[in-house]
Chain A
Amino acid sequence: MNVSTPSPSTITPEPVYRRRREVLKLIGLGAAGLATGCSSQAAPSTPPPPTPASADALTIARRVDDAGGAAQTTLADATHYNNFYEFGTAKDDPAKHSGRFQPRPWSVEVGGLAQDTGRFTLEDILKGQVLEERVYRMRCVEAWSMVIPWVGFPLGNLIKRFKPLASAKYVAFTTVERPTQMPGQNTRVLDWPYREGLRLDEAMHPLTLLAVGMYGRTLPNQNGAPLRLVVPWKYGFKGIKSIVKIEFVERQPRTTWNVMAPDEYGFYANVNPAVDHPRWSQATERRIAGSGFNLFGNRIATLPFNGYAEQVAHLYAGMDLRRNF
């Protein structure tokens, strides 16, 4: 772990992207004004969509580079190229179609095998947590990857507050279901709401992050506002977004992709170059990072546990990782 110093050319300076957003907002307002009366889509019944610029700057206590100094993905790429099927299945759908989503006010229902359960507001959840920046590699199961500076706190710190019972072996998470604000939920592409889960020891691991921000600001809607999971040694789909429910359970919970295609997406979903997806190789990945447009040299070797083996391999000692993929 070393403090990150990405080369200045690799990131969009904040004033620049803020200014860009402001310009875009102005253009948006202008267009809406011009379109009055002739466009139904341009006339929002909800307040204007929050953009990364309207996101608040977060107070960050410390910054840790857990990506070995690798070049970071630009803010623009990380916020305009991702999977969040609730907003559509194309990589640019989340950025395009998440404008109506309202991440505030927010509350999370905590239930199951724990002493302190109930409904907690987001403010409640954040109370007493020290926010830190963690730069993690993010490896998608589709064999591309990014390097993203998340802002959050270890999930374990929150779990301790709820005092799970000895019988609790797993933690199950659920994403919010709001078809009116999440257009992708009107299709049957996945079985909504999205569900994910971790073994309790995985959830308690210090690398497991509950993120509320990225690039120093609150999470944009398209990246899982206001609260999402980041588990850097697992494939990206384990990082459930816009969490409304946390449940402590005794048995391995049913998780969305695992239920949909159990032979393709395991419950553990640890990044593993030796275990291929049945339809494609996981040995290498295309890295999306650095100063933008590179046609060549993007492909790199995928590392066991996404390069976090030293920290997490012991969690799976004695397990057959080919069977428990």
Chain B
Amino acid sequence: MVIFRDRIAATKPLVFALCLLPLAHLIWDVTQGTLGPDPVAQLEHRSGDWALRLLLATLALTPLRRLTGLHKLIRFRRMLGLFAFFYASVHLAIYLIVDLGGFWSQLLGEIVKRPYITVGFTAWLLLIPLALTSTQGMMRRLGRHWQSLHRLVYAIALLGVLHYYWLVKADHREPLLYLCVWLTLMLARVRWRSRAAGKPLRAAA
């Protein structure tokens, strides 16, 4: 019985389910009341963590593909990217609706006045066009421009790391870890790019 086109297609539902696990965990903790003394802060931190992790995972696919030779990995990229956008949206919604509920006048000022919120909000805004143009149809329609547009994701990930770094009071180890991951992924790209520079152009992904 053949349901899936190939192994990648067969694995996709599993990856999809895995990406939903953090959300399920959050919902479970909400229903059980096990988010600790400051549940809203927990919801914000955990949804934000997963947005950032999935964004970096999306960025990691291309280097991983080159490293392992498993070129089909690229087919998970859209799903991971969309889940990053999904968790970023959940993160923002929790902040707006659950945390600031009733204090929205404060929020409008916050986005402009607080660099860490400005940066985080900008990152979310920039993800919108990427999510909207993530379909096959849009890819075809935009042609070469699609790739230039989607390069934005590097900047977005950096904004996400910065958003985290700026809200921490003194212990910067965790945001710095995310920064290291980002830098490593960038360096990998730069190296491959410079190596590939001498060779004939590779086929577009």
Query: A residues within 8 Å of B by Cβ?
Result: 73, 76-77, 80-81, 85, 89, 91-92, 142, 144, 187, 189-190, 260, 276, 279-281, 283-284, 286, 288, 292-299
* Interchain nearest-CB distance for A88 vs B (Å): 9
A residues within 8 A CB of B98? 295-296
CA A73 to CA B33, docked complex, whole Å: 16
- B37, B40, B41, B116 — most chain A CB neighbours (10 Å): B37
Within 8 A of A (CB), among B26-50: 30, 33, 35-41, 43
**B101 proximity list for chain A (CB < 8 A):** 296-297, 299
| Chain B 89-116 interface mask (CB, 8 Å, partner A; 1/0) | 0000000001111110010011001111
Consensus secondary structure, chain A interface: loop
CB distance B40 to A189 under 8 Å?
A: no
A89 with B33: in contact, given A281-B110, A283-B106, A294-B39 (CB under 8 Å)? Answer: no
Whether B39 contacts A295 by the Cβ 8 Å rule is: yes
Additional pairs, 7, CB under 8 Å, beyond known A73-B37, A288-B38, A295-B43: A81-B37, A85-B171, A144-B41, A260-B170, A279-B167, A281-B109, A299-B101
Task: Please judge, given known A-B contacts A293-B33, A297-B101, whether A190 and B170 are in contact too, CB under 8 Å.
Answer: yes
Residues of chain B in range 57-80 having any CB-CB distance to chain A below 8 Å: none
Contact residue among A80, A189, A299 (Cβ-Cβ distance under 8 Å from B171) = A189
Contact of A144 among B35, B38, B110, B170 (CB under 8 A): B38
Contact of A286 with B170 in the complex, beta carbons under 8 Å = no
Q: Which residues of A contact B37 (CB under 8 A)?
A: 73, 76-77, 80-81, 91, 288
Q: Which size class do B's interface residues fall under?
A: 20 to 34
7 A-B contacts (beta carbon < 8 Å)? A80-B37, A142-B169, A279-B114, A280-B114, A281-B114, A297-B101, A298-B40
Say yes or no for B154: interface residue by CB 8 A criterion.
no
The 9 A-B residue pairs whose C-beta atoms are closest, nearest first, are: A293-B33, A81-B37, A89-B171, A77-B37, A288-B37, A189-B171, A189-B170, A284-B103, A288-B38
A139 to chain B, nearest CB (A): 14
Say if the beta carbon of B166 comes within 8 Å of chain A: yes
Contacts of A76 in B (CB 8 A): 37
Residue-wise interface mask of B (142-174) relative to A, using a CB-CB cutoff of 8 A (1 in contact, 0 not): 000000000000000000000000110111000
Chain A nearest CB from B200 CB (Å) reads 49
**B56 → chain A, closest Cβ, in Å?**
22
What distance in Å separates the Cβ of B145 from its nearest Cβ neighbour in chain A? Answer: 37
Bound together, the chains give a CA A146 to CA B106 distance in angstroms of 21
Residues of A within 8 A of B116 (CB): 279-280
- A89 near B170 with CB under 8 A, answer yes
Question: What chain A residues lie within 8 Å of B36 (beta carbons)?
Answer: 80-81, 91-92
Contact assessment for B110 and A81 in the assembled complex, using a CB-CB cutoff below 8 Å? no
CA distance A81 to B30 in the complex (A): 18
CB atoms of B170 and A295 under 8 A apart: no
Q: Distance in Å from the Cβ of B119 to the closest Cβ of chain A?
A: 11
- Which of A190, A280, A283 is within 8 Å of B167, CB to CB? A280
Given A189-B171, A281-B106, A299-B101, residue A81 in contact with residue B39 (CB < 8 A): no
**A189 CA / B110 CA spacing, docked (Å):** 28
